[in-house]
């Protein structure tokens, strides 16, 4: 079975199996030998969030520069179909602060400039903003073999433009959705036979269907000028599994596997037609996506690290295929 054939449920089963193996087999072996994480540095992989949080009174800032390109998509049967070229440059800046021994607060700021077929968005535009509040249920042991376990509440704010975008659809940099997400995260260190650590982490997230979003005129959802109506987005389920292998104090190899699924969407409203206003009642089927993201980390010091890699889709249904090279600088204060 190829990776492109993996469904969301198979990726979830893989994550649960890895968790069971690591907790049941590796942890007792590691506990039997005294090991130290002194001199071991990790930035975290490209995608999966940090379940351990940030120590009290400290900051962690990791600005990303990201390029996203797409020239294909996945149909309802999961077949890859050619589409027109589109892309964007993005900057994403996660800023995390340790509010207490167990509480970490984080905000993700973003901006982008899109392009397609020689056209570009009017300027660099702000994207949507996400705030995250995380509580550490179980702190990790000094050698990392006892897992860090946390729960988190995420709130997405529609700060990016998504409708009334005029004649240039590339001016849309958000989706208009105020989405609330609940997440459970786990992180653990596994000590390899050569006494080098492999750190894995996983996050399972769920978001109920958000409130309807009012739409006016041209929008990111393909509505026409003069449209008046709304869209009901679906519930969202996501899974992310990441791993980092410490080659030495400076170099780390990292990999993420992610999967997500959104239930169907429903657009209703009215738009001008040749004989006056016409009714719009459009239901869009559920969508899913699976991607992988290999990366390499280089650490200048314990508080400064660089990570570079590429995330790319390997499967999906009713979703776009993409390739996204990215680089980030992690700074701990």
Prediction pTM value: 0.86
Cα(193)–Cα(141) distance, integer angstroms: 20
Q: What percent of the chain has pLDDT over 70?
A: 90
Residue 275 pLDDT class (50, 70, 90 cuts): confident
Task: For residues 200-217, give the mean pLDDT.
Answer: 96
Q: Which SS3 state, helix, strand or coil, does residue 99 take? A: coil
Q: What percent of the chain has pLDDT over 90?
A: 74
Task: For residues 140-159, give the mean pLDDT.
Answer: 96
Cα(229)–Cα(227) distance, integer angstroms: 7
Of the given ranges (6-10, 54-58, 77-81, 113-117), which has the lowest mean pLDDT? 6-10
Predicted local confidence at residue 6, as pLDDT = 46
Q: Of the candidates 324, 255, 332, which has an alpha carbon nearest to the alpha carbon of residue 296?
A: 255
């Amino acid at each position: 079975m190829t990776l492109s054939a993996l469904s969301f449920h198979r990726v979830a089963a893989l994550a649960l199996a890895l968790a069971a193996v690591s907790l049941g087999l590796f942890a007792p072996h590691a506990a039997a030998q005294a090991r130290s994480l002194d001199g071991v540095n990790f930035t975290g992989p490209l995608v999966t969030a940090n379940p351990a949080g940030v120590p009290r009174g400290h900051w962690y800032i990791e600005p990303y520069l990201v390029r996203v390109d797409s020239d294909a998509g996945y149909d309802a049967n999961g077949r890859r179909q050619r589409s027109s070229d589109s892309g964007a440059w993005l900057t994403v800046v996660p800023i995390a602060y340790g509010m207490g021994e167990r509480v970490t607060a984080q905000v993700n700021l973003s901006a982008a400039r899109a392009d397609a077929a020689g056209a570009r968005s009017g300027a660099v535009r702000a994207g949507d903003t996400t705030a995250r509040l995380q509580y550490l249920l179980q702190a990790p042991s000094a050698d990392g073999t006892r897992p860090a376990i946390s729960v988190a509440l995420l709130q997405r704010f529609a700060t990016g433009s998504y409708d009334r975008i005029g004649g240039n659809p590339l001016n849309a940099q958000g989706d208009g959705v105020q989405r609330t997400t609940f997440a459970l995260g786990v992180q653990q260190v596994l000590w390899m036979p050569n006494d080098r650590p492999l750190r894995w982490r996983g996050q399972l997230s769920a978001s109920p269907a958000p409130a309807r979003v009012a739409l006016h005129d041209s929008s990111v959802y393909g509505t026409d000028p003069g449209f008046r109506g709304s869209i009901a987005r679906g519930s969202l389920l996501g899974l992310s599994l990441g791993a980092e292998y410490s080659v030495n104090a400076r170099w780390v190899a990292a990999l993420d596997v992610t999967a997500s699924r959104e239930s169907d969407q429903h657009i209703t409203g009215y738009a001008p037609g040749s004989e006056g206003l016409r009714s719009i009642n459009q239901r869009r089927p559920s969508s899913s996506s699976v991607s992988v993201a290999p990366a390499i980390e280089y650490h200048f010091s314990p508080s400064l690290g660089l990570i570079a890699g590429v995330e790319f889709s390997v499967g999906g249904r009713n979703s776009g295929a993409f390739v996204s090279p990215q680089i980030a600088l992690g700074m701990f204060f």
